[in-house]
Amino acid sequence: MDYQAQLLLVMIIYMILLILWGLYQGRKVKNADDFAIAGRNLPGWTAALSERATGESSWALLGLPGAAYATGLTEVWTAIGCVLGIISAWALISWRLRDEAEKYNSNTFTGYLSSRHGDAAKWIRIVGSSTIVFFFFFYVGAQFLGGGKTLHTMFGIDPTLGMIITAAIIVPYTIYGGFQSVVHTDVIQAVVMIITLIVGPIVGLIYIANNPDVFASSIPEALSKAEAVAQTNYATFFDFTGGWTGGVVIAGGFSWFFGYLGGQPQLSMRFMAIKDKKQAKKARNIGIAWTVIAYIGALCLGWIGIAIFGPTGLADQEFVMPSVLLEIFPPAIAAILITGAIAAMVSTADSLLILSATEFSENLLQSKNKNPKKELLKSRLITALLAVVALSLAYLSSVLEINLIYTLVSFVWAGIGGTFSVVILLTLFWKKYHGIPALITIITGMLFTIVWISTGMEEYVTSRILTFIVAAAIAILSSLIIPKKQPK
């Protein structure tokens, strides 16, 4: 049996077990609160691993190793920005957001913001939820599209069929068990991911040190030789030879920091769902440790790829991780590790889908009927409907060969992440910040991001930095200009 057949067999078994695990966890869901936020009863380790799997997935396993393979040491700045952002979120925001969600009995991200800022609750709920649902429609669609393309690349499956398979994997347990099923399947993904990112680099370093046929026998040698061959700065942290361009590259890498500061709703929901303060501390420690280890491993896999294949040896840089694993492990072991990586990417859609569904159900389709069974049925039907819409968008984008989905996804990290990070930070840490400035911040941040990216200015300075700065400036000024209404 060749490696591709082994990989396909392992993947089928893995996915079946994942679906069954998600359905098994879904049996605990009895009402809409369980469906939306797992009853705010998550153990710390579950919340931490789920948040990490949701936050990284294809980025840590395909994107970051690919970027490290293509650029060498320069990619360290991206890793530093991400790691510092994640550490800041877990150390400063996670437990505060958990306490606030409990205090206001909030089941959704914008539900918390609207409850916290009562002077503009209605409009924060409408504008915030509408913005998140709209952009995450396309975000889910992008995951389906990405899953289809990955299955096509790995196994030659038709991309459209690959999208349907991707949806068929995650939609059943997401509809049945909601947030409860999603977080527990995420835990499995996080464990497989961290095993891959620990074992892969260790075995890879041993492999290149003992194999005379590789491009280089160590990472430093690989970076130095790659720099000589490709005539680019693989072995340099600070590339200012291009003047302004070098600074932009470093700032662009570090800019990922701002999106992690509470502004990604799919991550913040994990903070809000933690059971108690003791579990929040446990989650913080696990989340930070996982992050540091995973990012070091991801960078090393990219650099080991240079040592094995050379700087020009791979046609697609983002497949450096599976290429390295297939080179250094027997096919059966490589198949297990690669399957976990692909599954983590594919199943990211479940977190985005349940977020969109609960925002839509809880905030945009509020009903006076609070019958638990009917509310749960409503949440499940909306989840199914949104999955169909997202899959249709992915299919249209593929058939028409347009990049609409990926273009709109580029707005998410800046427009959603940068904007809502400001809102969350000021909500938690500044007493003068209130509802009207929060609403103004949301509108300003989204409009600025859309205009900035649409006009091509993203090529000069990334909106991941500027959206945060502009939104923060507007938030502070509007809070100082517009006084908070005192309760009668």
What would the pLDDT profile of 437-473 be if each residue is shown by its tens digit?
A: 999 999 999 999 989 988 888 878 888 889 999 999 9
Question: In which band, very low, low, confident or very high, does the pLDDT at 42 lie, cut at 50, 70 and 90?
Answer: very high
What phi and psi values does residue 66 have, to the nearest 5 degrees?
Answer: -65, -40
DSSP, collapsed to helix, strand or coil, labels residue 119 as: helix
User: Which of the four pLDDT bands, split at 50, 70 and 90, describes residue 238?
Assistant: low
Give the start-to-end residue ranges of the domains of the chain. Answer: 3-401
Whether 246 has a pLDDT exceeding 80, the answer reads no
**DSSP per residue over 158-198, as a string?**
-HHHHHHHHHHHHHHHHHHHHHHHHHHHHHHHHHHHHHHHH
Q: Identify which of 251-260, 270-279, 392-401 has the greatest average pLDDT.
A: 270-279
Can you tell me whether residue 432 is helix, strand or coil?
coil
**CATH T-level topology, domain 3-401:** Sodium/glucose cotransporter (1.20.1730)
- Write out pLDDT tens, residues 3-33: 778 778 888 888 899 899 999 999 999 888 8
pLDDT class of 249 with cuts at 50, 70, 90? low
pLDDT for residue 47 is more than 90: yes
User: What pLDDT shows up at residue 231?
Assistant: 64
Does the pLDDT at position 303 exceed 60? yes
pLDDT band at 248 (very low <50, low <70, confident <90, very high): low
Provide the token pair at 450: 């859309």
Query: With contact defined as beta carbons under 8 Å apart, do 62 and 252 qualify?
Result: no
**Residue 240 pLDDT greater than 80, yes or no:** no
How many residues does the structure list for the chain? Answer: 488
On the CB side of 197, CA atoms within 13 Å amount to 28
Which of 136-140, 271-275, 316-320 is modeled with the greatest confidence?
271-275
Q: What's the whole-number mean pLDDT along residues 222-240?
A: 77
pLDDT digits (tens, 9 = 90+) for 59-99: 788 888 998 998 888 888 889 989 999 999 999 999 999 99
Predicted TM-score (pTM) of the model is: 0.91
CA 82 to mean position of chain CA atoms: 11
Q: What is the pLDDT of residue 407?
A: 66
pLDDT at 294: 94
Say which range, 111-115, 132-136, 260-264, has the weakest mean pLDDT. 132-136
211: pLDDT confidence band, cut at 50, 70 and 90?
Answer: very high
pLDDT classification of 148: cutoffs 50, 70, 90: confident
Label residue 484 exposed, middle or buried (CB < 10 Å: 0-12, 13-18, 19+): middle
DSSP string for 441-478: HHHHHHHHHHHHHHTTGGGTS-HHHHHHHHHHHHHHHH
Which pLDDT score, from 0 to 100, does residue 222 have?
93
Q: What is the pLDDT of residue 203?
A: 96
- The C-alpha atoms of residue 221 and residue 234 are separated, in whole angstroms, by 11
Q: Which amino acid is at 309?
A: F
Give residue for tokens 């061959």. 229
What pLDDT is stored for residue 97 in this prediction? 95
State the average pLDDT for the chain: 87
**Digit-coded pLDDT (tens) for 371-404:** 788 888 889 999 999 999 989 988 888 877 766 6
The pLDDT value recorded for residue 488 is 52
